[in-house]
Structure 1
Amino acid sequence: MKTRSLAFSLLFPFVLLTAGSDSHAQDQQTQDGVKVGEMSMFRKLAPAGALENQAALQYNQTMQQAEKQHALGPDNHPQVIRLRAIANKLIPYTLRWNERSKQWKWEINLVGSKQINAYCMPGGKIAFYTGILDTLKLTDDEVAIVMGHEIAHALREHGAERAGKSMVANMGVKLAELVAGAKGYDPNVVGSVASGAANLGMLKFSRDDETEADVVGLDIAARAGYDPRAGIALWQKMGMVNKGAPPQWLSTHPAGTDRIAEIRRHLPEVMPLYAHAKGVDLATIPAYQTNVKNIAPVNYSAR
């Protein structure tokens, strides 16, 4: 018990430091639409330019491998044309979140795979897998929600943020081992306990990033003229195919029900953006109806 207490006491200052530095409730941006805090200071420990170069290399390798396996969607593939058209509508609204995106060489590709997955790497390298389009039968609005979410990860530099936090966590574990050895405790045991605590902390950080990406992605999609209520239908669909998910506290992603609740909470901020993009009165917008019959229409009332 003393060893466990020592490990946690050594990590406690680190926990306080990260909690204080990563508060998304501080320094709210003054803008219409959604409000999130300033980007994490931890991202500065991993230069964004270096990560973008690494991401470009990795992305190119992945696409080249997919092409060799005849799994890369050609430019004239209907789904590739569709994805790129949606991306072209979203990209103009990225600048308000990160001015670096103006310099990015955006790429959007489709990979043939049953994986229910999509991502946007630092620097604007986007990939969708056919599995997410086919299994979830995504509408254009739902594709925009997924794509906006993934783009938001890159805009908010979550990759650099996680790299920086990992560096600090590793330093904390090493410090715990050194102090434990000096005090006569087994450094291996203390290091193991400290590492476990740090890993649980990193899972929480990842869930926070996912929530932030959901919110920012809603904003981007709505400004581009895509219905943000599609996010609710999207996560209802996801829940139908992802029933074996781990408990939220042991997952890098928030529970689907929590994500739906968060989307609903931000609808008053993003629905006016959607109405403005469509050039209609918010009160006249009909309910969002997805293409799965047993998912109820999603209504919204400004009152």
Structure 2
Amino acid sequence: MKPLILASLIGATVAGCATTPTGRSQLMIVSPDSAIVESQKAYASTVGELDQNNQLLTDPSWVKRISDITGRLVTEAIKLQPETKNWEWSVAIIDDPNTLNAWCMAGGRMAIYSGIVTQLNLTDDEIAQIMGHEISHALANHTAERMSRAVVLNAGLLAAGAVTDNNGMVLTGTAMAAKLALELPNSRTAESEADEIGIKLATLAGYKPDAAVSLWNKMQKAGGGGGPEFLSTHPSPGNRAKTLGKLGGDMLALNPQLKKSAVYPITIVTDAAQAQ
């Protein structure tokens, strides 16, 4: 039993490899399509709760600002990866003045919290950097990558359970891994990768690349570091700003006049039904 399980684990790991838009090799046992299906379920559940709590912003000024900025980014994302035109691109604007966050699930389902815009007094260029970063997580299949790591963890637990006959450990570990696959933060490597792709998207869409630096300087002042870099899976805001600053000149060469892209018609989610 033990050799069979271990051989299956090794075979799945070797077979499940892919390459990100930056050229990084990544483990990909769970397909991107499967990650999109699971993300849709999670998105519907999350938006349903937000709708019940009246936390979905519908103010016209918010809707226009976020839809215009994100729509331009999506236009460039589709140019880079044409298959994403079939994604259900959407954004929920969450009324939460105390939360500094935004995210994008597999398949283009996004959210941005009002707190990150108001507390940091973000410009359109800085919002573009945030949303470009989040969209990049989806373009690089980071959700599928996290889920693939969970599969490997599950297989390891299964092998351990077969050797020790500890079935309780296997069941508990499997359930936990499946849950964490969608809920845990991305790794430091994935965050840095999304920074690199995101600043490119934002620049191509017509937004200033140096806004990536001012954004992370604001995050650092707001206490967004969460402690020393080596204690976190995320690069510190200060180091992110330095790294992105070095990329600025090369990015600007991609769109010297910062010509604005066309606005792709994304959906602004204003009720739970739109998230189904």
Question: TM-score, normalised on structure 2?
Answer: 0.74
Distance verdict in 2 for CA 1:120–1:39, change over 3 Å = farther
Unpaired runs of 5+ residues, structure 1, are 1-9, 30-35, 182-187, 189-202, 280-303
Would you say 1:87 and 2:73 are equivalent positions?
A: no
Percent of aligned pairs with the same amino acid: 32
Quote the Cα distance in structure 2 between the aligned partners of 1:243 and 1:163. 26
Q: Secondary structure, in 3 states, of the residue corresponding to 2:91?
A: strand
Alpha-carbon distance change, 231 to 243 in structure 1, aligned in 2, over 3 angstroms? closer
1:206 matched residue in structure 2: 187
Q: 1:59 to 1:23 in 2, by over 3 A?
A: closer
User: Which residue identity lines up with residue 99 of structure 2 in the other structure?
Assistant: Q
Report the counterpart of residue 300 of structure 1 in structure 2. none
Whether the aligned pair in 1 keeps the contact of 2:72 and 2:205 (CA below 8 Å) is yes
Q: Residue in 1 aligned with 2:246?
A: 265
Alignment partner of 2:95 out of 97, 101, 112: 112
Partner of 2:222: 241
Q: In the alignment, is the contact (CA less than 8 A) between 2:212 and 2:245 conserved in 1?
A: no
**Number of the residue aligned with 2:141:** 157
- Give 5+ residue unaligned stretches, structure 2: 1-5, 170-183, 261-276
Deviations 1:170-223, CA, capped at 9 Å, x for gaps: 4346657877x6xxxxxx9xxxxxxxxxxxxxx997100000000000000000
Task: Using the TM superposition, give the Cα deviation of residue 157 of structure 1 relative to its aligned residue in structure 2, in angstroms.
Answer: 0.5
The match for 2:213 is 232
1:127 aligns to what? 111
Change (3 A) 1:62 1:214: same
Is residue 145–residue 218 contact of structure 1 (8 Å, CA) maintained in 2? yes
Relative to structure 1, the CA distance from residue 177 to residue 250 in structure 2 (aligned partners, 3 Å threshold; closer, same or farther) is farther
SS at match of 2:100: coil
Which residue in 2 is equivalent to 1:103? 86
1:143 aligns with 2:144: no
What letter is aligned with 2:108?
A: G
Cα distance in structure 2, aligned partners of 1:139 and 1:171? 46
Residue in structure 2 matched with residue 199 of structure 1 by the alignment: none
Equivalent residue for 1:32?
none
Could you tell me which amino acid in structure 2 is paired with residue 214 of structure 1?
A: D
Alpha-carbon offset, residue 158 of structure 1: 0.2
Q: CA–CA distance in 1 between the matches of 2:186 and 2:95?
A: 31
Whole-angstrom CA distance in 1 between matches of 2:185 and 2:57? 35
One-letter amino acid of the counterpart of residue 157, structure 1: N
Shift in CA distance, 96/144, structure 1 to aligned 2, threshold 3 Å: same
Using structure 1 for the length normalisation, give the TM-score.
Answer: 0.68
Q: May I ask how many residue pairs the two structures share in their alignment? A: 233
Post-superposition offset of 1:265: 2.2
Correspondence for 2:23: 37
Could you tell me how far 1:22 is from its partner in structure 2?
Answer: 8.2
Give 1:125 shift. 0.7
SS in 1 for 2:111: strand
Moved more, 118-127 or 164-173: 164-173
Residues in 1 aligned to 2:185 and 2:232: alpha-carbon distance in whole angstroms: 8
Q: Contact conserved, 1:115 with 1:129, CA < 8 A, in 2? A: yes
Structure 2 CA distance, aligned partners of 1:102 and 1:54?
A: 19
Residues 173, 273 of structure 1: CA spacing in aligned structure 2 closer, same or farther, 3 A cutoff?
same
* Structure 1 vs Structure 2 CA RMSD: 3.1
8 Å CA contact 1:98, 1:156 repeated in 2: no
Question: Counterparts of 2:227 and 2:156 in 1: how far apart (Å)?
Answer: 27
Task: Tell me the alpha carbon deviations over residues 46-68 of structure 1, each in whole angstroms, 9 at most, x when there is no partner.
Answer: 12222212222222222222222
Distance, in Å, in 2 between the alignment partners of 1:175 and 1:96 is 43
* Aligned counterparts, 1:267-286, within 5 A: 267-278=248-259
Instruction: Tell me: CA distance 1:173–1:70, structure 2 relative to 1, closer, same or farther (3 Å).
Output: closer
Contact preservation (8 Å) 1:204, 1:249 = no
Aligned-partner Cα distance in 1 for 2:162–2:45: 40
Shift of 1:105: 1.2
1:136 shift after superposition? 0.8
Instruction: Using the TM superposition, give the Cα deviation of residue 153 of structure 1 relative to its aligned residue in structure 2, in angstroms.
Output: 0.2
Which residue is 1:65 aligned to? 49
Q: Say whether 1:54 aligns with 2:24.
A: no
Distance 2:39 2:186 in 1: 21
State the structure with more CA Rg. Answer: 1
**In 2, are the aligned partners of 1:229 and 1:267 still within 8 Å (CA)?**
yes
| Structure 1 residues 110-164: Cα deviation after superposition (integer angstroms, max 9, x where no partner) | 1111211101111111111111111111100000000000000001000101111
Match of 2:60 in 1: 77
